[in-house]
């Protein structure tokens, strides 16, 4: 989410006009028109229509609804679509429409974050589904040379609006693609993971995005002035969340909502977009797209797909590639940080999935036979797999036992608690989530997205991180599905966080034939999946519970799905720690409302993980 906002125009790039063949073609073959579209309650939404000049046939509409602006404003200024793979939609003569959602930028009305969907609406009630319906209904009647078919797509927050568009059930709406969709903001997307507050993203994002907009404007808000260029140092010195609230000020409503709802109460529950997907019309096809290494909304993509599969009756498919947040909409999908994928996966997706999907449903053109139920890229082997379902039927949830001396082996956990590893978790010296420095200037650098597959050697060397590793693998080990951490723990305090990381350790002699980053890949410890669990929510996200000091307690939670092969000659490593800073806010390690904690509330704690009684359950693909 933070990346999307700071790079506002990743999907509708706003650049000055550049003389190249694609830009000249689009400008010569398209017109741009700006209109205000009325909603059923009289509010008007600012909408930009890019329409092909070609009149030889009628064309479909592809709609993006966004809180991130239709910019550039002005009918004589084009957005730089020619710099994006999405220029393919212009070459296909789509009517491309972008709309500022209610209360944002040039649209009228009052903005509400992740405005809840209202099932069984009463007369006069509005939500994002009704706004989408009204917008499409206006387009059907007013847009010239339209063939009657509408598609909607969007990434991140626009992915939320795409999901709600599918709930509109307008008869002209034929295909919807929520991409890295925000599904809810407490369990796994953006601002909370398993109840733990994702501090760095939330503060940097909402200190600008959350500023009130009293009236329509083309001028965006300014962000927080980070006078300290060392990001880690800034967040650590600022201290408790109450201090961030003071910096945020009184005007940002959603920050107040965050602070007022520390648990998974009704406020969050009604904002879970998966709750009512059964209302999606069977005639609307959905294509869920996400990144296996998306730091922001990996959870949303996997779980929206699963919810639609379970509850709805439409044609629903999923694509998960080896991407950071939105990378499938960029020109280069050949690598993420130091890890290479062997091909331009973004280009493959556009040519083989995205354009054919919309062409088939909106233009009655081509075929989607090549788009299978689950189109998943497996890192490690670096290959796309076209699969009949997800999760796969031929996986076995296998328990990998965390044993003495940092060894991992296949086996069932013991009830004996005679052996353990322990570490001191010190909130004053939290475990960082990246190894390089945090100095920032201008656009956020690699660590806000590329930590998702970054080298974990720097944490392996810390005394407050436990490290477990398998012997050298004698055959390939492929994981395809969710990971379950099942830990037996104890602590000297009454609360703690648990970060579990699944890591692929490369051979000591490993190197790429072509290494553009010049990073030494020998013994590289590639992060494959990591997730945090706020311990007090181990039994219920609605009703947190304190730990009893030094009492052995089970903490069990699920990490988002993976698709990765640990190659023969590699090791599988598990790391366990209790801070992940400043990605995640620090736990005071006392049972209290962390949003109201003071600096003096943060205490050291001794954390114990019981060997042989703790397992990581992995989804092993079997023949």
pLDDT at 1 over 80: no
Please report the pLDDT score of residue 439 as a whole number.
59
Q: Can you spell out the DSSP letters for 275-321?
A: TTGGGS-TTSEEEEEEETT-TTTHHHHHHHHHHHHHH--S-EEEEEE
Q: Work out the pLDDT band at 514, boundaries 50, 70, 90.
A: confident
Q: Regarding beta strands 59-66 and 146-155, do their DSSP bridges make them parallel or antiparallel, or are they unpaired?
A: parallel
Please report the pLDDT score of residue 15 as a whole number.
40
What is the Cα Rg of the chain in Å? 24
Mean pLDDT for 17-34 is 88
- Give 134-162 pLDDT, tens digit per residue: 999 999 999 999 999 999 999 999 999 99
Please report the pLDDT score of residue 253 as a whole number.
96
Q: Do domains 2-184+271-387 and 395-621 have the same CATH topology?
A: no
pLDDT at 6 over 90: no
Domain 395-621 part of CATH 2.60.120.260: yes
Please report the pLDDT score of residue 8 as a whole number.
41
Q: Please state the CATH superfamily assignment of the domain spanning residues 2-184+271-387 in this structure.
A: Alpha/Beta hydrolase fold, catalytic domain (3.40.50.1820)
* CA proximity to 83, closest of 28, 16, 152, 154: 16
Please report the pLDDT score of residue 437 as a whole number.
62
Segments making up each domain of the chain, as ranges: 2-184+271-387, 395-621
Give the separation between CA 193 and CA 189, rounded to whole angstroms: 7
Residue 370: beta bridge partners?
none
Mean pLDDT for 388-416 is 95
Please report the pLDDT score of residue 4 as a whole number.
42
The separation between the first and the last C-alpha atoms of the chain, rounded to the nearest angstrom, is: 38
Percent of the chain with pLDDT over 90: 92
Number of Cβ within 10 Å of residue 412's Cβ equals 8
Please report the pLDDT score of residue 19 as a whole number.
61
Mean pLDDT for 234-242 is 97
* Widest distance between CA atoms in the chain: 79
pLDDT at 337 over 70: yes
pLDDT at 609 over 70: yes
In this structure, what token pair is assigned to residue 233? Answer: 């140092």
Tell me the pLDDT of the chain averaged across its residues: 94
Q: Work out the pLDDT band at 443, boundaries 50, 70, 90.
A: very low
**Which of 164-168, 407-411, 441-445, 478-482 is the least confident region?**
441-445
Given a contact cutoff of 8 angstroms between Cβ atoms, the answer to whether 316 and 280 are in contact is no
Q: How far is CA 136 from CA 52, 54, 62, 141, 285, in A?
A: 18, 22, 10, 9, 17
* CA proximity to 277, closest of 303, 253, 298, 250: 303
- Give 43-100 pLDDT, tens digit per residue: 999 999 999 999 999 999 999 999 999 999 999 999 999 999 999 999 999 999 999 9
Q: Work out the pLDDT band at 447, boundaries 50, 70, 90.
A: low
Please report the pLDDT score of residue 515 as a whole number.
73
Percent of the chain with pLDDT over 70: 95
- Give 177-231 pLDDT, tens digit per residue: 999 999 999 999 999 999 999 999 999 999 999 999 999 999 999 999 999 888 9
- Give 39-54 pLDDT, tens digit per residue: 999 999 999 999 999 9
pLDDT at 465 over 70: yes
Please report the pLDDT score of residue 10 as a whole number.
38
Q: How far is CA 126 from CA 120, 160, 170, in A?
A: 11, 16, 15
Mean pLDDT for 471-495 is 98
How many H helices and E strands in the chain? 14, 25
Please report the pLDDT score of residue 438 as a whole number.
61
């Amino acid at each position: 989410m933070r990346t999307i906002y700071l790079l506002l125009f990743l999907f509708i790039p706003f650049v000055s006009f550049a003389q190249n063949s694609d830009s000249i073609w689009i400008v010569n073959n398209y017109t741009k028109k700006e209109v205000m579209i009325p909603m059923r309650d009289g509010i008007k939404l600012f909408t930009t229509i890019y329409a092909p000049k070609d009149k030889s046939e009628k064309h479909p509409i592809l709609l993006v609804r966004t809180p991130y602006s239709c910019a550039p404003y002005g009918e004589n200024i084009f957005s730089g679509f020619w710099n994006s793979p999405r220029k393919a939609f212009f070459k296909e003569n789509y009517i491309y429409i972008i709309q500022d959602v209610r209360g944002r930028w040039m649209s009228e009305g009052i903005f509400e974050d992740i405005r809840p969907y209202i099932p069984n609406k009463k007369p006069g009630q509005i939500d994002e589904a009704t706004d989408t319906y009204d917008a499409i209904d206006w387009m059907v009647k007013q847009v010239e040379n339209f063939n009657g078919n509408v598609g909607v797509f969007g990434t991140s927050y626009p992915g939320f609006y795409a999901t709600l568009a599918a709930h509109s059930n307008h008869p002209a709406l034929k295909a919807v693609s929520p991409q890295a969709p925000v599904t809810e903001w407490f369990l796994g997307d953006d601002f909370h993971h398993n109840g733990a507050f994702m501090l760095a993203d939330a503060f940097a994002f909402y200190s600008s995005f959350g500023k009130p907009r009293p009236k329509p404007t083309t001028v965006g808000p300014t962000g927080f002035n980070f006078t300290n260029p060392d990001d880690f140092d800034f967040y650590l010195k600022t201290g408790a969340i109450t201090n961030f609230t003071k910096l945020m000020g009184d005007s940002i409503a959603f920050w107040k909502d965050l602070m007022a709802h520390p648990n998974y109460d009704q406020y969050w529950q009604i904002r879970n977009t998966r709750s009512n997907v059964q209302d999606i019309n069977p005639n609307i096809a959905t294509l869920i797209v996400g990144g296996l290494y998306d730091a922001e909304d990996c959870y949303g993509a996997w779980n929206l797909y699963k919810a639609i599969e379970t509850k709805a009756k439409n044609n629903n498919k999923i694509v998960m590639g080896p991407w950071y947040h939105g990378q499938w909409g960029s020109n280069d999908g050949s690598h993420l940080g130091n890890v290479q994928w062997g091909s331009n996966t973004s280009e493959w997706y556009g040519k083989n999935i995205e354009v054919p999907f919309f062409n088939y449903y909106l233009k009655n053109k081509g075929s989607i036979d090549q788009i299978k139920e689950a189109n998943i890229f497996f890192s490690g082997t670096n290959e796309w797999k076209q699969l009949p379902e997800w999760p796969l039927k031929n996986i076995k949830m296998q328990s990998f036992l965390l044993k003495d001396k940092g060894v991992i082996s296949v086996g069932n956990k013991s009830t004996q608690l005679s052996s353990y590893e322990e570490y001191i978790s010190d909130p004053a010296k939290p475990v960082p989530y990246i190894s390089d420095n945090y100095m920032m200037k201008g656009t956020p650098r690699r660590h806000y997205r590329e930590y998702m597959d970054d080298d974990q050697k720097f944490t392996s060397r810390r005394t407050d991180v436990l490290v477990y590793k398998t012997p050298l693998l004698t055959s390939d080990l492929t994981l395809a599905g969710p990971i379950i951490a099942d830990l037996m723990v104890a602590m000297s305090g009454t609360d703690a966080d648990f970060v579990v990381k699944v890591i692929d350790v490369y051979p000591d002699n490993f190197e790429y034939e072509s290494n553009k980053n010049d990073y030494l890949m020998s013994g590289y410890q590639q992060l494959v999946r990591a997730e945090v669990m706020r311990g007090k929510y181990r039994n219920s996200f609605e009703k947190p519970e304190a730990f009893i000091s030094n009492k052995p307690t089970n903490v069990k939670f699920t990490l988002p799905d993976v698709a990765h092969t640990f190659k023969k000659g590699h090791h599988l490593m598990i790391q366990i720690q209790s801070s992940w800073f400043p990605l995640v806010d620090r736990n005071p390690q006392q049972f209290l409302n962390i949003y109201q904690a003071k600096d003096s509330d943060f205490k050291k704690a001794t954390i114990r993980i019981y060997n042989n009684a703790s397992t990581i359950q992995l989804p092993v693909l079997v023949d």
